[in-house]
């Protein structure tokens, strides 16, 4: 990309722009954006591996991101604007989703027959007629407190997980419980 400015030619490197780069908001939202991007840097590879090569949707890793709703609102708003501005042209909407990489991921999930049902739902099915219960406790010291989720199936505790949030702890504990049930030879 080059342009003429006062008789000289200037070249600027092409930079990747993301939808969140266009987010203009107050300080609180910008602080949330920065924190989310920092968290994403630490989980990006695990999430990418799960989405690109995994057999199960990486629910717990995505939950761990705890992204502010404003990020999904941006995608919904742009997609809605494209739909309205093009008078309902679904091809234009699909092009936008393709550019975000979402259509590629969807095709890949379908082609690989990735398991996308959330872990708690899968565990309920795997447990059959057995009662599934989740016991949540707050563990640790003040500076490093985590949520512990213990999962019981049929009255027997079979798995637990310690995480920063309740929802992540439940998801990870349910995933562990499913694997234990599968090892015992019961259907997932």
Residues 136 and 102 in one domain: no
User: Tokens for 27?
Assistant: 């300080």
> Is 174 a member of any domain?
yes
Say which DSSP state 184 is in.
Answer: T
> Is 2 a member of any domain?
no
Q: How far apart are CA 41 and CA 64, in angstroms?
A: 12
Residues 46 and 69 in one domain: yes
pLDDT for position 121? 96
Residues 31 and 103 in one domain: yes
Separation in Å, CA 34 to CA 43, 64, 129, 165, 174 = 15, 15, 45, 19, 30
| C-beta separation of 82 from 73 below 8 A | no
Q: How far apart are CA 82 and CA 69, in angstroms?
A: 20
Residues 105 and 142 in one domain: no
Chosen domain end from 111, 143, 160: 111
pLDDT for position 53? 84
Q: How far is CA 139 from the centre of its chain?
A: 25
pLDDT for position 14? 65
- Encode the chain (188 residues) as per-residue pLDDT tens digits: 444 444 444 455 667 777 777 777 788 888 888 888 888 888 889 998 888 888 899 999 999 888 888 888 889 999 999 999 999 999 999 999 999 889 999 998 899 999 999 999 999 999 999 999 999 999 876 677 899 999 999 999 999 999 988 999 999 999 999 999 988 875 54
Chosen domain end from 111, 129, 161: 111
Residues 86 and 63 in one domain: yes
pLDDT for position 16? 75
Chosen domain end from 47, 80, 111: 111
* Alpha helices (H) along 9-68: 27-53, 59-65
User: Tokens for 65?
Assistant: 């991101």
Q: How far apart are CA 149 and CA 167, in angstroms?
A: 9
Residues 59 and 81 in one domain: yes
pLDDT for position 9? 47
Domain that residue 176 falls in: 119-183
> Is 10 a member of any domain?
no
Residues 129 and 145 in one domain: yes
Tally the domains of the chain: 2
pLDDT for position 152? 96
Instruction: Specify the pTM.
Output: 0.75
* Alpha helices (H) along the chain: 27-53, 59-65, 69-85, 90-100, 102-111, 119-126, 166-183
Burial class (CB in 10 A: 0-12, 13-18, 19+), 141: exposed
């Amino acid at each position: 990309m080059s342009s003429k400015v006062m008789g000289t030619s200037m070249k600027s490197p092409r930079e990747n722009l993301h939808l969140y780069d266009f987010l203009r908001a107050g300080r609180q939202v910008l602080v949330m954006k920065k924190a989310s991007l920092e968290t994403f840097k630490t989980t990006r590879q695990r999430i990418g591996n799960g989405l690109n090569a995994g057999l199960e949707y990486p629910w717990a890793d995505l939950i761990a991101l705890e992204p502010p709703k404003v990020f999904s609102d941006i995608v919904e708003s742009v997609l809605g604007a494209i739909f309205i501005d093009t008078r309902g042209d679904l091809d234009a909407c699909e092009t936008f989703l393709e550019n975000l990489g979402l259509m590629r991921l969807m095709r890949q999930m379908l082609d690989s027959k990735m398991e996308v049902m959330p872990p708690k739902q899968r565990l309920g099915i795997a447990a059959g007629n057995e009662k599934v219960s989740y016991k949540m406790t707050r563990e640790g010291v003040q500076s490093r407190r985590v949520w512990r989720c213990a999962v019981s199936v049929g009255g027997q505790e079979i798995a637990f997980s310690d995480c920063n949030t309740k929802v992540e702890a439940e998801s990870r504990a349910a995933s562990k419980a499913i694997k234990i049930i599968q090892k015992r030879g019961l259907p997932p």
